[in-house]
Amino acid sequence: MSIQNRLLMVLKMHRISASNFADSIGVQRSNVSHVLNGRNKPSLDFLEKTLKKYPRVNAGWLITGEVSKEINSDNLNLIDDTMDSTFENKLHKEVALDSTMKKIEKIIVFYTDLSFTEYSNK
């Protein structure tokens, strides 16, 4: 997932528009527009302002797209890869039971260390 998509997820999670996001972190609206459209890469200053204004966003995830799975005192409830696939299989079985149910496109699981994992139906 590109950094543009991760920033779009931040906007969606906080339910704000790109212009409100620009205003909230103190950058020009065109700057946010260029980053979200892939014209420019976000600067270090842009990322720093984003992380200061939205401290619940995991810095490692925002920058690299990866979340550390190291266990520390703030991060005790990790789900490993085998549990992830078990969860997905169970989800697909439950959805298959009710054919009138809308199709699930994406599930986001939020962790206590402020990171999250996204499951897509692709």
pLDDT tens profile 38-49? 899 999 999 999
What is the pLDDT at residue 118? 81
| 45/92 same-domain check | no
Same domain as 87, residue 58: no
- pTM for this model (two decimals): 0.56
For residue 108, is it within any domain? Answer: yes
Average pLDDT of the residues in 80-104 = 52
Helices (H), the chain: 3-14, 18-25, 29-36, 44-53, 59-64, 81-97
What range defines the domain where residue 104 resides? 81-120
In angstroms, rounded to a whole number, what is the distance separating the alpha carbons of residues 63 and 75? 20
**Amino acid 106: pLDDT:** 80
Among 65-74, 78-87, 97-106, 107-116, the range of highest mean pLDDT: 107-116
- The answer on 88 and 52 residing in a single domain is no
Overall domain count for the chain: 2
For residues 116 and 52, which has the higher predicted lDDT (pLDDT)? 52
Does the residue 49 lie in any domain? yes
Domain holding 20: CATH number?
1.10.260.40
- Judgement on whether residues 46 and 12 belong to the same structural domain of the protein: yes
